[in-house]
């Protein structure tokens, strides 16, 4: 999973041609740490369909505010620079997979 910052967000997410899931997280967030390993596993599984990235909201507060991230974990899937959908909260891997599949079906 790619670590992104406010400096790389535009290039890696908004200008990317493939869909990108951005995990908005923070090191102090327990639920974020629980979701992390599931996202790592899913990033390998969806390698050719969906790019996975994570953004530390403490280090990139401007980006979190720009996309109205009010609570974490929050995963937003972008396609062609636009938000497709978001997943808010900590879910088990199987549930995350279902939600991602539903969102990708819209593309």
Question: Which of 4, 21, 22, 29 is flagged as catalytic?
Answer: 29
Write out the chain's pLDDT in tens, 107 residues.
899 999 999 999 999 888 999 999 999 999 999 999 999 999 999 988 999 999 999 999 999 999 999 999 999 999 988 999 999 999 999 999 999 999 888 77
pLDDT of residue 54: 96
Predicted model pTM: 0.92
Q: Say if residues 21 and 83 touch (Cβ distance below 8 Å).
A: no
Query: Residue with structure tokens 């908005």?
Result: 24
Which of 80, 82, 90, 87 is CA-nearest to residue 101? 87
Q: Is 74 considered catalytic here?
A: no
Provide the token pair at 33. Answer: 């740490």
Set out the domains of the chain in order of their start, with CATH numbers.
2-104 (3.40.30.10)
User: Which of 20, 21, 22, 32 is the catalytic position?
Assistant: 32
- Told to judge if 29 belongs to the known catalytic residues of this protein, a careful annotator would answer yes
Burial 29-55 (b: 16+ CB within 10 A, else e): beebeebbebbeebbeebeeebbbbbb
């Amino acid at each position: 999973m790619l670590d992104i910052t406010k400096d790389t967000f535009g290039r890696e997410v908004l200008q990317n041609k493939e869909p990108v899931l951005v995990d908005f997280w923070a090191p102090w967030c327990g639920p974020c740490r629980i979701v992390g390993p599931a996202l790592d596993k899913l990033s390998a599984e969806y390698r050719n369909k969906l790019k996975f990235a994570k953004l530390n909201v403490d280090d990139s507060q401007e980006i979190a505010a720009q996309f109205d991230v009010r609570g974490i974990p929050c995963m937003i899937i972008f396609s062609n620079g636009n938000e497709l959908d978001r997943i808010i909260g900590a879910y088990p891997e199987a549930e995350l997979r279902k939600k991602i599949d539903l969102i990708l079906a819209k593309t």
